Structure 1
Amino acid sequence: MTTPITVVGGGLAGLTAAIATAETGVPVRLFEAHKTLGGRGRATPPPHVAHDGAHVFYADGPHYTWLKERGFVAGLGWPPLSSAARVGFRTDGRIRKLPPVGMLRAQSRKALSAPVDVDFHTWAAARWGERTATQLANAISVATYDANTGRLSAAFVWGLFQRVFGPKVPGVRWVRGGWQQTIDRMVARATELGVSIETGARITELPTGGPVIVATELDSARRLLGDESLYGTSGLAALLDLAVTEDRRDRHIVSDLDEGGFHECYTMQDDTIAPAGESLYQLQMPVRDNESRADAHERLELFADAVLPDWRSRTTFRRTATAKNRTGALDLPGTTWRDRPAIDRGNGVYLAGDMVAAPGMRGEISINSAITAAASAVAAVQATGQRSTR
């Protein structure tokens, strides 16, 4: 009988690892501490389907190819052309249609490379000035949840900036029904493949009897493995989800170059996630050093005032939260994704998640690391089987 592979964690990384493993014919058992699967990919139930912060897919990497080949991202939604007129940038307290000239100049420099061992603000300020450097860093806070994105590695931030704001049109995709739709499809596929899934099962000791893929948050992995080296840098942000009655004055997408906030309408490409006549928006604001969460939420509401006039009197759904360590890994000066905690921990233990040594952004790191972890675990099982038959 083939040795089973155990997956601890049923979020995006755990489901990916379980599916990638089961597709090879190796038996898989998956344990999830919560009652439902999906981790941070879960969404609120209808009629208002909201996520924990901005959730989109980028179709320009191996993670998306893997999802697409299995039908997990089928049924895409597309915003109408009219939405382009409702995109803006907040600079100096005002919402403008176009970004500042300095940012436009930076956007055009796709061929420019940035150093790993210098912080982004220092590097960008030397080229475009202090003001533009701050605006560029704040523009990409949507991906870092960090109020001081400029402190991170120049190569790391510049790569994110060019991917999101560069001259090449970004390959952003929205699945109708939200990420929950993708998660549900992944759960169905895992079940079809015969993965043994147990929810409400918190694992406190490392399972024995075969390879183990630990696909949890890094803090949980550190406790489970007793490995004090499992630390990473992530962000902290205030979140606000709002459904409001439709109003033509509302902005659909606004990047906050003043404070690093971000505002996006999700019903512009998917009218299934809110009742007819309502628009669903998700806003975020990074929490500053030594700032209370209450003060960060207050700044976020002031941002909402600027992009959704009179939103308080029109609100039909509201949810607030604070997101800590939910952005995936953030690379400090002198480090790259290769310097994050390794996937192969030795002795048949593998690590998957959004803060480990795999390329990508946020959830993409989870998928890419899980695929690598699954391949390594399967290879270990197959090697053991070959030796036992000799």
Structure 2
Amino acid sequence: MPAPHRSHRRITIVGGGFAGLTAAISAAEAGADVTLHEAHRSLGGRARTDEAPYRTNEGPHALYRRGPHYPWLQQRGLLGPLAPLGLREAARIRFHHHGELHRVPPLALLRLRSRTDAPVDQDFLSWASAHVGEPAARAAAYYTGVATFHHDPGLLSAAFTHRILYRTTRLNPEARYIKGGWGALISRMADHARGLGVRIETGSRVDALPEDRPVIVAAQLDSARALLGDDSLTWSSSRTALIDLALRAHPKKQRPAGRRQPADLFVVSDLDRSGWIERFTAQDPTLAPPGEQLLQGQVGIAPHETRADGIARAERLLDAGFPEWRERVTWRRDALATGRTGAVDLPGTTWRDRPAIDRGNGVYLAGDQVAAPGVLSEVAFTSAIEATTLALSAARSATGARRPAP
């Protein structure tokens, strides 16, 4: 796509993650003169992917194909190759329930999925328990931990958690995996932005709002709060223990009666607590060296729990789904993510109650904890598009006001 004709409209973007790059591309396509500042030496934010040999994302990442960002990326040729998720991988999904592994989840999950009456002002557990009983309601709530990262999604708004349940239990799964990790997507977006004329300045920390407006702040909410000096910029998020593992490929040793060691599972979803382990090399072997498997997992932890508590639960989930995994470890990393897991809505609130995109005086917010609909990165995308639309309108108004009368 050729670079559009440049106008006198100037837009500054603070933050070079998925939201910031979305805003930069959208603004440049509309003819604005765009400068993007990223404090780190590399772009991507939480969408960064580590360099080889283990190409890990910051926690499990997937792209939901029914989200608004999917066709937007596709139309611009930015999706790139996607790692296939075939029937073989789907057959290797297990659900950890009542301490055992099952091939299918409780049928109550599908019964709840079909309902359309989940209320905003009631917690999910209470609402779901009235329809399928408390044990099944808890299992359904914990299942949504894959996309809420919350330690107890049953405490959240029924409407919010049910929407996650609906999106994540499709018989034709929405999740798609970017080959090479999300960093590959970020690289394509950055190249595309530069091709449109966007000036990208990495290692450029912005400690005070630029005087030249409009400005789109596409940073974490706590960073935006400090930059804007606005204590109202808060919203509920989650605390999550993350675990990354590289394992030697499963040995093909003989078992009694001539049975071979079964292949590693693809996913273990915990329905007894909030937790998820995924073998990302099942669909993209390039993420680890030949002969090794890359696993990434996340376990939601309560405010009073420690990272060690979460990692211990992750290890118990590994014990259930990947026996003898300790003997096969070639690399490991543990981490704690706090306030970096997107917005969650408590009973009585929706995405509309989150911090507004328009902060006044030519300042706009974009990110995954602001007032925009969607799931996970969809919130960042949608808020970036809205922030760009508002910023362009403000820039046009300012340009018109400065133009001398004929």
TM range (shorter): over 0.9
Question: Alpha-carbon deviation of 1:112?
Answer: 2.3
Q: What are the residue-to-residue correspondences of 1:146-165 with 2, within 5 Å?
A: 146-165=150-169
Pair 1:136-2:136 in alignment: no
Contact 2:89 2:283 in 1 (8 A): no
Distance 1:388 1:80 in 2: 57
2:227 counterpart residue number: 224
* Structure 1 counterpart of 2:23, from 10, 17, 28: 17
Moved more, 97-106 or 342-351: 97-106
Secondary structure of the 1:272 match is helix
Contact 1:78 1:174 in 2 (8 A): yes
1:69 counterpart residue number: 75
Q: Deviations over 1:113-142 (max 9, x none)?
A: 200010111101111111111111100011
2:283 counterpart residue number: 269
The percentage of counterpart residues that share the same residue type is 49
Aligned AA for 1:229? S
Question: Alpha-carbon deviation of 1:317?
Answer: 2.2
Distance 1:133 1:54 in 2: 24
Contact 2:307 2:335 in 1 (8 A): no
2:188 counterpart residue number: 185
* Structure 1 counterpart of 2:333, from 310, 319, 344: 319
Q: Deviations over 1:173-220 (max 9, x none)?
A: 111111111000011111111211211121111101220000110011
* Structure 2 counterpart of 1:202, from 202, 205, 210: 205
Question: Alpha-carbon deviation of 1:255?
Answer: 1.0
Pair 1:363-2:369 in alignment: no
Distance 1:104 1:306 in 2: 24
Question: Alpha-carbon deviation of 1:249?
Answer: 4.0
Distance 1:225 1:63 in 2: 27
Question: Alpha-carbon deviation of 1:354?
Answer: 0.4
Secondary structure of the 2:139 match is helix
Q: Deviations over 1:244-275 (max 9, x none)?
A: 12223421112100111101111121121112
User: Is there any run of 5+ residues in structure 2 with no aligned partner, and where?
Assistant: 1-6, 251-261
Pair 1:47-2:50 in alignment: no
Question: Alpha-carbon deviation of 1:153?
Answer: 0.5
2:390 counterpart residue number: 376
2:242 counterpart residue number: 239
1:120 counterpart residue number: 124
Moved more, 179-188 or 62-71: 62-71
- Taking only aligned residues, the RMSD between alpha carbons, in angstroms, comes to 1.4
Distance 2:263 2:287 in 1: 21
Aligned AA for 1:321? A
Q: What are the residue-to-residue correspondences of 1:80-119 with 2, within 5 Å?
A: 80-107=86-113, 109=114, 111-119=115-123
Aligned AA for 2:206? I
1:171 counterpart residue number: 174
Distance 2:267 2:273 in 1: 15
* Structure 1 counterpart of 2:218, from 209, 215, 219: 215
Contact 2:85 2:176 in 1 (8 A): no
Q: Tell me the TM-score normalised to structure 2 length.
A: 0.92
Distance 2:373 2:30 in 1: 23
Secondary structure of the 2:91 match is helix
Contact 2:277 2:298 in 1 (8 A): yes
Aligned residues between the structures: 387
Secondary structure of the 1:367 match is helix
Q: Tell me the TM-score normalised to structure 1 length.
A: 0.96
Contact 1:249 1:309 in 2 (8 A): no
Which contiguous aligned blocks of 4+ residues in structure 1 show a shift greater than 4 angstroms? none
Aligned AA for 2:246? A
Contact 2:140 2:165 in 1 (8 A): yes
1:34 counterpart residue number: 40
User: Is there any run of 5+ residues in structure 1 with no aligned partner, and where?
Assistant: none
Distance 2:220 2:268 in 1: 30
1:347 counterpart residue number: 361
Contact 1:249 1:308 in 2 (8 A): no
Contact 2:110 2:169 in 1 (8 A): no
Distance 2:74 2:151 in 1: 34
Distance 1:88 1:170 in 2: 15
